[in-house]
Structure 1
């Protein structure tokens, strides 16, 4: 199967994503993860030769002398290694080694077993933690948690680095290998150890796996004339769902729209183009794709209507790939304002194919450019209005299994103190030492929430504290407030 995508490596859904950040032109799958094309055309020939002994190897090698070193290494190991070796393991390892030598986080090889696991997760319900990941400099990094997923509820954030899964280090793993460890059946528990930018210590995050939500369009009226629509990814049904949502909001009096692409790691190419066409005038460019030879293909809007709805778009560092295509298209081809934070910065295109034996390889084939020819790779898109969320929105997660009580001292206590303060319970200090004043604040919080008033943060008390903070962040969305302000100016 030949697929093309531009995207962030998709963690999950459970890989609804592993190339969701990416965007993939797929007919078979709803979300993008890792599908692959064989790295060199002679792989099948090589496998055949190796299957039939040294004589065949020599024959093929004489035709492709660049592989002589590879065949020599293979023969040496097969004959002289201190124990018997599996031929398939060696071949898979050779392909995987070539892929890693490219030093490209968006190129990856998937073995037969890994491919089967992936296809099973796509064909059945999506179960896992619901977070998009990519491999970066030998580490697995969160691109974005999916809206409503266990990962979002647990407090995972873009740019969190996953150091271990259930105590097993994943440094040096591909995103495919990491996903195999992270995803699992609904109701099972997985513990991630993460490093958050700006935090001194590693944070342990226990997460209960669940079915990953596949709804991608959420909408609501935020006042009498302005609506907000959030697109969480670009799947097969997203354009149709968006049309239905916009029609419904128009019936409710929508005169202007805030399109929220925050925490959206990407999705399908065709759907990104279709949605961009809704807001970009007919024949205006949506993006350009440049191949290895410098040949550029233009993708214009095919909008037959009149995209004159006043619009402002929200982006953040979790907006990647197809989200960035849409954001760049509406800004450069429809003069739409962007509000929020600089986006992720994913500007390459991937092609993917299934191999005959069931394994896969995905590799980068081109780069995509904005309508004005800008390449945003590793740079992201800087918004017209830079707005940060409140400082408490970036607080780390507190492990609910850990007991925070009188006389304890830790970074988690410091985080809890900041959370309490943000919610109106004065702990008296925010230096990480749990004193009497902090205990009083915890007791007051527990009393207000009808929890056992023991002055100890653990279990339900910790979970409730983090839940209320998430609610406060949603209700004090400074980025959305600015977007509404800008939109009202546009509507005058």
Structure 2
């Protein structure tokens, strides 16, 4: 969500469905780049010009000027070896600027490039990716048979995004699991809502922020006001699987929650100078607990760190992702952009969380079945077969109270009996085969169970309950 002349923050790199991301940007007043005039007179620059001239003149298939120039720019940016710096040709740049300010169609996941692989930062709430069980740190190896290895995030997005209703066949590697996962999902319109709220028992309000966009502060303020009108006595802010967003909006949210004069964050540039952000006034005045996990990144981490270090707000969940750099963009007349890292952000106490993340005050894991990926209802699994998908199905059956006898991915007679017991209990024809209605019902019941067994939320409620006067 880049707007020239405004302070924005980094999210982890690109929204798959968007062909862009909520990458963080800071435009620092008065800062300019190296002198082009000086660079043009150097031997290195002359070498570049000579290479351009030679290839344009002598390459046997002919070389177009724009092809050579775009390749040179792309190569320069890639030489930085920074996953958050990238060159975007005009079509990608257009999608980037359009999509970060509007709804979009795709699978709905934030990604980044790391060590030649496309890595999921977080699925977006309510998106096909979330429904399919895609998790933070999953590696997307290919889409529709096209390998994504070696691509930048921008390049990968052009292959992953697509129109609503089209099918995407993903091959996923999940850390800690052998083999690959084949996930089939249907692209859809990704929800533009970023804030969801509800009143929990004991007048505890809960506000989930799924990303930080242009509308988030307005949504957040309305949610807080509504909960206060309902008599809210304490607040749980859920930042789990929040990949980040806009800096100015994040600062406004923190300003609303912290006492006057408290440090929110710092941005440090390469020359050592810093921009600091402090709270002007507090508008809530109630106890707060924050939920975080490995999908909480950039803007979500800034808000969590600000509340933790400047507001003594406890964090509950698991360690955050660890994205501590800030990006800006430069646009060219042909519509292309370069996006590059310009600074790092620091917590109120001056800590840099890049690659290390933020440890919660109360570490709580979700149940093991929460990490399962969704099963494809169009794919049948039956006796004598062996696969990672069967392993997931067995784990689902176990979690739902239907013992399959083993959890290693081999579909034996005991697994078949467990499937038939599940089918009988749910009014489905007893075939002993996992697929269709059986698969859909298993995933439906598992999602409902996870909502009831949200161990992290339960801990947050317990912590907040003790804080309420």
Same fold (TM over 0.5): yes
Find the counterpart in structure 2 of residue 220 from structure 1.
198
User: Do structure 1's residue 203 and structure 2's residue 181 form an aligned pair?
Assistant: yes
Find the counterpart in structure 1 of residue 424 from structure 2.
447
Could you tell me which of 155, 165, 179 is aligned with 2:157?
A: 179
Change (3 A) 1:332 1:125: closer
Paired residue secondary structure (1:357): coil
User: What's the offset of the Cα at 1:489?
Assistant: 1.3
CA distance in structure 1 between the aligned counterparts of 2:40 and 2:287, rounded to whole angstroms: 65
Paired residue secondary structure (1:200): coil
Find the counterpart in structure 2 of residue 93 from structure 1.
71
Find the counterpart in structure 1 of residue 85 from structure 2.
107
CA distance in structure 2 between the aligned counterparts of 1:89 and 1:133, rounded to whole angstroms: 27
Change (3 A) 1:8 1:61: closer
Change (3 A) 1:377 1:211: same
Find the counterpart in structure 2 of residue 482 from structure 1.
459
TM-score (norm. length: structure 2): 0.94
Paired residue secondary structure (2:9): strand
Could you tell me which of 317, 331, 341 is aligned with 2:294?
A: 317
Structure 1, residues 420-464: CA drift from partner, whole Å, max 9, x if none?
Answer: 010111112222221222112112222333333211112332233
CA distance in structure 1 between the aligned counterparts of 2:204 and 2:101, rounded to whole angstroms: 38
Change (3 A) 1:441 1:159: same
Change (3 A) 1:244 1:61: closer
CA distance in structure 1 between the aligned counterparts of 2:185 and 2:243, rounded to whole angstroms: 21
Find the counterpart in structure 2 of residue 149 from structure 1.
127
Structure 1, residues 73-113: CA drift from partner, whole Å, max 9, x if none?
Answer: 22222233221112111110110001111011111100112
CA distance in structure 2 between the aligned counterparts of 1:121 and 1:298, rounded to whole angstroms: 29
User: What's the offset of the Cα at 1:146?
Assistant: 0.6
Find the counterpart in structure 1 of residue 226 from structure 2.
248
Q: Which moved more, 1:155-164 or 1:346-355?
A: 346-355
Paired residue secondary structure (2:48): helix
Find the counterpart in structure 2 of residue 345 from structure 1.
322
Find the counterpart in structure 1 of residue 273 from structure 2.
295
Structure 1, residues 149-187: CA drift from partner, whole Å, max 9, x if none?
Answer: 111001101000110011111111111111111111111
Find the counterpart in structure 2 of residue 234 from structure 1.
212
Q: Which moved more, 1:127-136 or 1:465-474?
A: 465-474
Is this contact kept in 2: 1:347–1:369, CA < 8 A?
A: yes
Is this contact kept in 2: 1:287–1:370, CA < 8 A?
A: yes
User: What's the offset of the Cα at 1:399?
Assistant: 3.5
Find the counterpart in structure 2 of residue 366 from structure 1.
343
Give the number of equivalent residue pairs.
463
Change (3 A) 1:472 1:39: farther
Could you tell me which of 129, 139, 158 is aligned with 1:161?
A: 139
Find the counterpart in structure 1 of residue 24 from structure 2.
23
Is this contact kept in 2: 1:127–1:211, CA < 8 A?
A: yes
Change (3 A) 1:125 1:288: closer
Change (3 A) 1:274 1:385: same
Find the counterpart in structure 2 of residue 7 from structure 1.
10
CA distance in structure 2 between the aligned counterparts of 1:252 and 1:108, rounded to whole angstroms: 47
Q: Which moved more, 1:357-366 or 1:109-118?
A: 109-118
CA distance in structure 1 between the aligned counterparts of 2:33 and 2:374, rounded to whole angstroms: 41
Identify unmatched segments of 5+ residues in structure 1.
27-36, 46-59
Is this contact kept in 2: 1:347–1:375, CA < 8 A?
A: yes
CA distance in structure 2 between the aligned counterparts of 1:25 and 1:315, rounded to whole angstroms: 25
Find the counterpart in structure 1 of residue 235 from structure 2.
257
Identify unmatched segments of 5+ residues in structure 2.
none
CA distance in structure 2 between the aligned counterparts of 1:62 and 1:225, rounded to whole angstroms: 66
Is this contact kept in 2: 1:129–1:210, CA < 8 A?
A: yes
TM-score (norm. length: structure 1): 0.89
Is this contact kept in 2: 1:285–1:371, CA < 8 A?
A: yes
Find the counterpart in structure 2 of residue 329 from structure 1.
306
User: What's the offset of the Cα at 1:62?
Assistant: 6.5
Is this contact kept in 1: 2:132–2:373, CA < 8 A?
A: no
CA distance in structure 2 between the aligned counterparts of 1:62 and 1:421, rounded to whole angstroms: 67
Paired residue secondary structure (1:6): coil
Paired residue secondary structure (2:52): helix
User: Do structure 1's residue 382 and structure 2's residue 359 form an aligned pair?
Assistant: yes
Structure 1, residues 309-356: CA drift from partner, whole Å, max 9, x if none?
Answer: 110000000000010000000111111000101101011111113211
CA distance in structure 2 between the aligned counterparts of 1:170 and 1:201, rounded to whole angstroms: 17
Could you tell me which of 54, 61, 81 is aligned with 1:76?
A: 54
User: What's the offset of the Cα at 1:251?
Assistant: 2.3
Q: Which moved more, 1:273-282 or 1:404-413?
A: 404-413
Is this contact kept in 2: 1:3–1:352, CA < 8 A?
A: no
User: Do structure 1's residue 357 and structure 2's residue 360 form an aligned pair?
Assistant: no
User: What's the offset of the Cα at 1:120?
Assistant: 4.9
Change (3 A) 1:399 1:61: same
User: What's the offset of the Cα at 1:361?
Assistant: 0.7
CA distance in structure 2 between the aligned counterparts of 1:450 and 1:78, rounded to whole angstroms: 70
